[in-house]
Every structure is written in structure tokens, then in C-alpha cells.
Amino acid sequence: MLDAFAPDSSEEPDPIALALSLKAQGQEQAESGKFAEARALLLQAVRLMPGDAELHELHAQVLLQLGSTWEAVRAAERAVQLTPQWADAHVTLARAQMNFGEPVLAEASYERALETMQQPCTDAGVLAAVRQELAEATQLAERQRALGPGVRAVVKDAGGGTGTPGETEVEDGGRGGAGGALVSSSDGSGRGGAGAKRQRSGGQSIAGDGTAVGRQHTTRADQPDSSAADATAGPSS
């Protein structure tokens, strides 16, 4: 008779506890460079605990490492929506927007990140890194504005562009051709290179920072704007 009062061994596990466990496992996999495995774990965690901003931000970092830039933008946007005053979420969103070819949006996100940082309490290295990234975004944003509406940057593999790492260069050429492009090399300067932990003011961090290490941002006039991606984008994280 007492068996009727025994705990049901088939009872579903606590979803929050399971999500936290998956999050920790995903963090561990990401720190080991196993980003595909980390993504699978974090996606499960997001479904169980969709209101966790740190989880969405961590998921965005992993998605950036995997080159899933649009999904990373969506994940970072969700983190910002959940915690508007969290500087790291704004920085991750800015990096995703840069990789997606939207330096104007990235510029605004970097500015919001700096606004939300508690300046007296923030590490000087973190501030310097974010300011450096903002300067690069501003440079690209100015060029994007000059080229007019409908222009979006594209990400090229290293070696495919002409820029010197750490420098910005304008190539000669027509508006819609291979030239006429603003090339800004992302060598990880101030952001953490591959295998290095990103400087952060708090929250989770992973090995590598997802900032297009070994890639280049090229502003081109023949690329669709972000509104076109809305029609084809997959589901949000």
C-alpha cells in the first residue's frame, strides 16, 4: 500500500534544472571549441528556458563561431530584449550585426553598450576593446551611408580581399563591381582571437569571440539589405 505514495520514477525532470545543466554543458563544449555540439545543447536549453538572457547571448556567440550569422543576430536581439541594460548583450548583437553586413545597426548597438556599461566599474581593457570595435563600425557605417540605401556589407574569407589587417581601405572601382568596396579586416584585435577568451564585463564567455576572425567585411552596393533576410530567415533561437 505504501508503494502508492512512493515518488514516481518516471516523473519528468525539472525543466529549469535540465536547462541549466544543458547550458553548462554547452558552455563547456564551446570552451573546448566544439561549437556544433555546443549549439545542439544550447538550442535544447533555449527551448526549455526561453526567458534566460545569458543563455540567448551565449547561444549567439556559438552561432557566430559556426557562421550562422542571421541566427546569431536573432539570438542576440532576444538577449537584448530580455535585459536591455546588459552591455555584453549589446556588444554581442553589434558583432553579429557587423558580421551580417549591417555596420549602421552595429554602430548603434556598440553605442548602447557603452551607455549601459558602468564606466567606473568596467575594466579599462573592456572599454578600450568596445571603443575600438565602435570606431571600426563607425568607419564602415559612414561608407555604407555614402553608398546609399539598399547597401549591405558582405563577409569574405581572409585572402579574398585586399585590406591589411587592422586597417580600412577603399578600393577604386564601380559601385556594383568587385571594386568600390570598403574592406575592413577583422583580425580579432581588441576582441580576442580564435581560441582566446573575449574580454567581457560580465556573463558567459567562450573560447573565441565569434567576431569573424580571419574574415573581412566588405560593403558592396550589389547586396540585398537586411529586410530581404527577414523573408527567408529561419526561426529565432
Looking at residue 115, its pLDDT comes to: 93
SS3 state of residue 54? helix
Residue 6 lies in a domain: no
Mean pLDDT of 51-70: 98
Q: pLDDT per residue over 35-60, tens digit each?
A: 999 999 999 999 999 999 999 999 99
Looking at residue 148, its pLDDT comes to: 80
Residue 140 lies in a domain: yes
Looking at residue 138, its pLDDT comes to: 97
SS3 state of residue 195? coil
Grid coordinates belonging to 42: 544550447
Residue 210 lies in a domain: yes
- Calpha distance 16→224 (Å, rounded): 40
Question: Which CATH number do you get for residue 39?
Answer: 1.25.40.10
Residue 3 lies in a domain: no
- Calpha distance 49→56 (Å, rounded): 10
Looking at residue 5, its pLDDT comes to: 55
Beta strands in the chain (DSSP E): 152-157, 168-170, 182-186, 215-220
Q: Which residue has the cell 566544439?
A: 34
Q: Are 76 and 56 in contact (CB under 8 A)?
A: yes
Domain of residue 49 covers: 15-232
Residue 94 lies in a domain: yes
Q: Are 96 and 113 in contact (CB under 8 A)?
A: no
Residue 237 lies in a domain: no
**Single-letter residue type at 165:** P
Confidence of residue 213 (pLDDT cuts 50, 70, 90): very low
Mean pLDDT of 154-162: 48
pTM above the 0.75 mark?
no
Residue 1 lies in a domain: no
Tally the domains of the chain.
1
CA–CA distances in Å: residue 162 to residues 64, 147, 172, 182, 188: 23, 19, 11, 10, 17
